[in-house]
Amino acid sequence: MRWGAAMPGSSRAAGSSRAAGSSHAGAGVDAVRNGPVAVGVRPDMETTVRQGTGRYEIAADGKVVGVALYLDDGGRRIFFHTEVADAYEGQGLAGKLVRQALEETRTQGLRVVPVCPYVKGYVERHHEYDDIVDPVTDEAVQLVREHQAAAR
């Protein structure tokens, strides 16, 4: 399942395979989308979330199955794309990924700009993050566009 940010003036989602798959921040998005299909995901599945450059990843039993991509700008972390492999959707992994990313962002003293629709919806439902969320501005959207254009 993909949650990208539809950019004004664009019919593509931010973080689509062409834009995201060609940069370090998006490396691995195609692997998440096109990786092996899991058969019968176990309820005792072990998950871990880790931060990389421009991304948070969630792994299930050691295999990366989801990403949340971001761009840091000064004291702001702009989240612009979240994705979990289809075989793992509906198991709460995107929520777990975003929750951990937001907690680490808070710990690092950064503000959150939720350009990604999934992250936006998450912070709207979880008011414990109200104190670190900034509104999405045209400037933030433009920074994401420039980042993606440079990644092509």
32 contacts 67 by C-beta, under 8 angstroms: yes
Query: Is residue 33 predicted with pLDDT exceeding 70?
Result: no
Instruction: Please write the tens of the pLDDT for every residue from 95-106.
Output: 999 999 999 999
Q: What is the pLDDT of residue 55?
A: 98
Write the CA distances from 74 to 19, 136, 145, 152, integer angstroms. Answer: 23, 15, 17, 23
Cα 95 versus chain centre, distance: 10
Instruction: Please write the tens of the pLDDT for every residue from 69-115.
Output: 999 999 999 999 999 999 999 999 999 999 999 999 999 999 999 99
Instruction: Please write the tens of the pLDDT for every residue from 123-147.
Output: 999 999 999 999 999 999 999 999 9
Q: Which of 4-18, 67-81, 110-124 has the lowest mean pLDDT?
A: 4-18
CATH number at residue 101: 3.40.630.30
Write the CA distances from 57 to 7, 11, 94, 128, integer angstroms. Answer: 23, 26, 10, 22
Alpha-carbon Rg for the chain in angstroms: 15
Cα torsion angle, 106, 138, 121, 33, sign: negative
Of the pLDDT bands very low, low, confident and very high (cuts 50, 70, 90), residue 47 is very high
Of the pLDDT bands very low, low, confident and very high (cuts 50, 70, 90), residue 149 is very high
Domain count, the chain: 1
Unique residue bearing structure tokens 């062409």: 18
What CA–CA distance (Å, rounded) separates 131 from 3? 24
- The angle, 0 to 180 degrees and rounded to 10, between the axes of the packed helices 117-125 and 93-107 is 80
- Tell me the whole-structure pTM to 2 decimals: 0.75
Q: What is the span of the domain harbouring residue 22?
A: 2-151
